Amino acid sequence: MQSTHIGFPIETVAVFILLSVGAIFIDLFMHRHDKPITLKSAALWSVFWILMAFVFAGFLYVHHGAEVASLFVTGYALEKVLSVDNLFVMMAIFSWFAIPDRFRHRVLYWGIIGAIVFRGIFVAIGTSLLSLGPWVEVVFAIIVGWTAIMMLKGGGDDDEIEDYSQHLAYRMVKRFYPIWPKLKGSAFVISQKEVDEELAKPENADVKIGRVGKAARYATPMLLCLAVVELSDVMFAFDSVPAVIAVSREPLIVYSAMMFAILGLRTLYFVLEALKQYLVHLEKAVIVLLFFIAVKLGLNATDHFFHHGYGITATQSLLVVIGVLALGIIASLLFPGKAEPKEDLHD
């Protein structure tokens, strides 16, 4: 693990905040309407976010040197690749809740806001734990390796549709809100008055709900979907944060790399959704990278114990991440799977 120390220089933090927040406002302004995001638009915006990340990498190169810039790019690429599997899970969640394309970017926006907060917490905890000793790296290696094994074992379960009504997040929302089972535009919650108006419509004559008074707020499928997405991302962070921390101990490098990767996920989702049937071997690339990160963490830890001198540099890590990703894409093009569109099984 690289131990390059940069701390939190004011100018670097300021540039990071300026680039990320400025780009968010531009993105939100351009996607302020409830309209489906086309593949062309999503692809262009994905390029925009990649350019923002490389602008920051260029700043790091000029002000902190090639090694720091390489660590950032490696962490960024790794988080981006590992996020692919999380985006595939989100596709299944959106399908189960029957969220239309034109509303999905709203759920993704709030999901990304939550990811920014929770990643910051996890990065702070993770980098702090590393100061306790090399045994922490052993634990991280086991977590990442176990995740890879579970993904490998579950590779044949693609046809199974999870019942998200039993998800912890779904049940937690039901504890605080009564549920209105139909969408009401892009609203996450609606009032008792709006529910009464909906119940008066002939098409909702068969809808049965509980009432808790005139001041009630009812959760729509949008809020239920958002809650499941948020908790799923938190669980994903338990794997991805140790993986990116394997690249560097520096909180600023780790967090900025993860943030630029996450901020581009909203538009990358629509690209992957359109190309999912063609990227059939990309998940295998994610599994390979998780095993690679587990080995890297294991080498770091055992070097402290046995002083064997073996390790994986930032440049080597970057080459492996890019190489495995490229192989996953090339394999998908050369050996395409059966493209069978799945039906929406949720009523």
> pLDDT tens for residues 292-334?
888 988 888 888 788 888 888 777 888 888 899 889 889 988 8
The residue assigned the tokens 């929770």 is 118
- CA proximity to 16, closest of 55, 69, 62, 50: 55
Q: What is the pLDDT of residue 339?
A: 46
Q: What is the pLDDT of residue 129?
A: 86
Q: What is the pLDDT of residue 195?
A: 87
**347 lies in some domain:** no
Q: pTM here? A: 0.80
**142 lies in some domain:** yes
Check: CB of residue 188 under 8 Å from CB of residue 223.
Answer: yes
**181 lies in some domain:** no
Q: Give every residue of the chain whose pLDDT is below 50, as ranges.
A: 1-2, 159, 339-347
Q: What is the pLDDT of residue 213?
A: 57
**20 lies in some domain:** yes
Q: What is the pLDDT of residue 148?
A: 86
**185 lies in some domain:** no
**342 lies in some domain:** no
**231 lies in some domain:** no
Q: What is the pLDDT of residue 214?
A: 56
Tally the domains of the chain: 1
The residue assigned the tokens 């830890």 is 301
**162 lies in some domain:** no
Q: What is the pLDDT of residue 76?
A: 92
d(CA 103, CA 109): 10
Task: Find the domain containing 287 and state its range.
Answer: 10-155+237-334
Q: What is the pLDDT of residue 159?
A: 47
- Tokens at residue 86, please? 């999380």
Q: What is the pLDDT of residue 346?
A: 46
Reported for 112-121, long-range contacts at CB under 8 A and 24+ positions apart, including other chains, are: 112/262, 112/263, 112/265, 112/266, 114/230, 114/233, 114/234, 115/233, 115/237, 115/262, 115/265, 116/259, 116/262, 116/263, 118/233, 118/234, 118/237, 119/237, 119/241, 119/255, 119/258, 119/259, 119/262, 120/255
